[in-house]
Amino acid sequence: MPFKIIASQCSGCSACELECPNVAISEKGGTFVIDPKKCTECIGHFDEPQCVAVCPVDNTCVVDTSLPRYQARA
Amino acid sequence: MDVSALDEASLAGSAVDIGETMQAIAEHKGCGTSGGTGNASCGSQAGQGDLPTEIWEKVKNHPCYSEEAHHHYARMHVAVAPACNIQCNYCNRKYDCANESRPGVVSEKLTPEQAAKKVLAVASTIPQMTVLGIAGPGDPLANPEKTFKTFELVAKAAPDIKLCLSTNGLMLPDHVDTIARFKIDHVTITINMVQPEIGAKIYPWIFYNHKRYTGLEAAKILNDRQLQGLEMLTERGILCKINSVMIPGINDQHLVEVNKAVKSRGAFLHNIMPLIAAPEHGTVLGLNGQRAPTAQELKALQDLCEGETNMMRHCRQCRADAVGLLGEDRSAEFTTEKIMAMDVKYDLKMRKAYQAKVEEERVAKVAAEQEELAELGNEMSGVKLLVAVATKGSGLINEHFGHAKEFQVYELSTTGAKFVGHRRVDHYCRGGYGEEESLATIIRAINDCHAAFVAKIGGCPKSNLLKAGIEPVDQYAHEFIEKSAIAWFKSYLVKVQSGEIQHVERGEAAIRQGALISAA
Ligand code: SF4
Ligand code: SF4
Ligand code: SF4
């Protein structure tokens, strides 16, 4: 499950939902959730995971930093 | 200014020439907000003056574009667009967008269908509601489907309602054609800077072309897109208002540059708003202890820019789901639950008839002012002072001191009465706890005024005002504001001349910081 949204921090702004190329994000009770089966980390679509780039609350769409792709960014 | 390091040639705003008409509009100085300075050629008067007819038709009953209209006509906002694509340091995204609203306010989010129903419900209940705006929370153009769907539904069901839109400008150039096609004739762009060095202090990042940009690069892209969007809109004859948030020490002096830049691109109105920042809003600036401007600093900057463009001084920084006259909020009457239960019949004829009555009232108001002013014409005096007015709208002194949620401020001189701003206050008359304290807050908010015009005032607040050096004036209850203010000013001048009183300058006044969370 490479990406998830920390519900307690999510403002419910829906920005990530609009940007996700895989329609992996949807609303659930006022905040948003990522469907891990649909999330591809945006690989093949964009250089950055879109939900992370657009989310206004830092560290809310969390990236699993153990993945090789994010080692360089850290 | 070295921004050449940026290889963003494709983004650079195309330097299109602005059509002659738009240039002419931009040159209309002193309009839009100078209600009653005796300048008959002004868009803010009850008459058209020498504003081109197409423009007059657009602004005459738009409460945000015409100061004069804002006493009579109402607007509403619907919150259908929660997502945003930039981050502002004066905004906390848990709340509504701070570019138009007060920080710390949360609006009820609606689907386009719910929003359209709400518009019809409000239009049927409040016939003077003439304008629908979409201003967030978030950026309407970061949510183009929802925004334009809402406009489409409203245009179909209520064709007489004017549509307007507020944006941070980042996506504006991509949507100008759609905006024109939907006959949206007013667009507000928030522009806080025209220099990336300053922008970097206001915007930590933007999200553009699927990428997050930061620092100077982010600010440059944002500003190029804003100015390009502005040019494209004015070229198409769409009226543009520019909002700027005045942040002392960051962009306060710089806003004079911003004013020039937007004026030269045909902006119709410039609205400089005070920063509202308190630590409890959780914004970057609030947490850093950034102070807000005082009422004097704000007015001085607005005065400085006035010669350049029409200044808006009556913006209330409304909530994104506000309903009613500016300064009033009736959104609690129109919650989603209530609207969905309503059976709405849209009666265009009833609305037209009501609005015709409002027009008569406006004409009468201006005539009364002109008459009073004519007598003042031969007075010679350099005295200029501010007065506060408690009003519920219609241009009348018709609010009780204790019920006022805001005071409107007029500058009086021998050239007449000019609306220069408003001060939000808490209800004093809630009774019980903190009464003394809220009275003190009100006095602080209007401390730069010589008099307070009210429909009625109790004995205790009266003596407190007098003690603070503010004359409570209640003998013009339910009369026209400008006419009464000029009449009072005349007698004031007589008293000064006879030596009965001495004219003294007043002190500073504070701008209320808290969010207006209650919809009361
Ligand atoms: S990383 Fe990309 S694919 Fe995964 S949820 Fe975020 S936006 Fe969607
Ligand atoms: S962008 Fe962030 S705050 Fe907004 S809905 Fe998605 S996770 Fe929540
Ligand atoms: S925020 Fe200002 S411009 Fe927007 S509706 Fe309110 S008064 Fe008008």
Interface check B210 vs A, CB under 8 A: yes
pLDDT on residue B253:
93
Q: Is the CB of A59 under 6 A from ligand 2?
A: no
Residues of chain B found within 8 Å of residue A56, distances taken between Cβ atoms: 84, 87, 93
Has residue B26 got a pLDDT over 70?
Answer: no
Which residues lie across from B212 on neighbouring strands?
B207
Give which of B88, B108, B207, B281 to mutate to test A binding, by max A Cβ within 10 Å.
Answer: B207
Q: Give residue ranges of A with CB < 8 Å to any B CB.
A: 11-15, 17-19, 46-48, 50, 53-54, 56-57
Strand B205-208 versus strand B211-214 pairing type: antiparallel
**So what's the ipTM on this one?**
0.85
Interface check B149 vs A, CB under 8 A: no
Q: Do A48 and B210 touch (CB under 8 A)?
A: yes
Any idea which of A35-44, B59-68, B141-150, B193-202 has the lowest mean pLDDT?
B59-68
Asked if B170 and B139 touch (Cβ cutoff 8 Å), the reply is yes
Domain ranges of chain A: 3-72
Region for residue A12 given its phi and psi (left: phi exceeds 0; alpha: psi -120 to 50; beta: otherwise): left
Question: Which stretch of DSSP H or E encloses residue B301?
Answer: helix B295-306
pLDDT on residue B435:
64
pLDDT on residue B277:
75
Average pLDDT of chain B, as a whole number? 77
Domain ranges of chain B: 8-325, 349-498
Print burial letters for A26-61: b (CB count within 10 Å at least 16), e (below 16): eeeeebbbbeeeebebbeeeeebbbbbbbbbbeebb
pLDDT on residue B517:
35
Residues of chain B found within 8 Å of residue A48, distances taken between Cβ atoms: 210-212
Pick the CATH number of B8-325 from 3.30.750.24, 2.40.50.140, 3.20.20.70, 3.30.465.10: 3.20.20.70
Taking only Cα atoms into account, the Rg of chain B, rounded to an integer number of angstroms, comes to 22
The pLDDT tens digits of the residues spanning B418-441 come to 877 778 776 555 444 456 677 888
Q: Do A46 and B210 touch (CB under 8 A)?
A: yes
Q: Which ligand is nearest to the CA of B162?
A: 3
Average pLDDT over residues B184-190: 89
Interface check B142 vs A, CB under 8 A: yes
| Alpha helices (runs of H) in A3-62, residue ranges in sequence order | 15-19, 50-54
DSSP codes joined into one string, B386-421: EEEE---BTTB---BGGG-SEEEEEEEETTEEEEEE
Q: Do B210 and A11 touch (CB under 8 A)?
A: no
Ligand 1 center to A49 CA (angstroms): 6
Report CA dihedral (A62, A65, A66, A67) to the nearest 10 degrees: 90
Which residues lie across from B412 on neighbouring strands?
B385, B417
CATH superfamily of B349-498: Dinitrogenase iron-molybdenum cofactor biosynthesis domain (3.30.420.130)
Q: How close does chain A come to B82, measured CA to CA in Å? A: 5
The CATH class, in words, for A3-72 is alpha beta
**Which residue in B94, B142, B207 is closest to A53 by CB distance?**
B207
Strand B471-473 versus strand B269-274 pairing type: unpaired
Please report, for residues A39, A60, B370, B429, the alpha-carbon distance to residue A45 in angstroms, rounded to integers and kept in the order given: 12, 21, 66, 59
The pLDDT tens digits of the residues spanning B202-213 come to 999 999 999 999
Has residue B340 got a pLDDT over 80?
Answer: no
Lookup: tokens for B52: 């081109």
- Neighbour-count burial of B19, counting CB atoms closer than 10 A to its CB (0-12 exposed, 13-18 middle, 19+ buried): middle
pLDDT on residue B161:
87
Strand B205-208 versus strand B86-87 pairing type: antiparallel
Q: Do B210 and A14 touch (CB under 8 A)?
A: no
Lookup: tokens for B415: 């050239």
**Which residue in B138, B210, B212 is closest to A13 by CB distance?**
B138
Residue type, A25: I
3-class SS of residue A53: helix
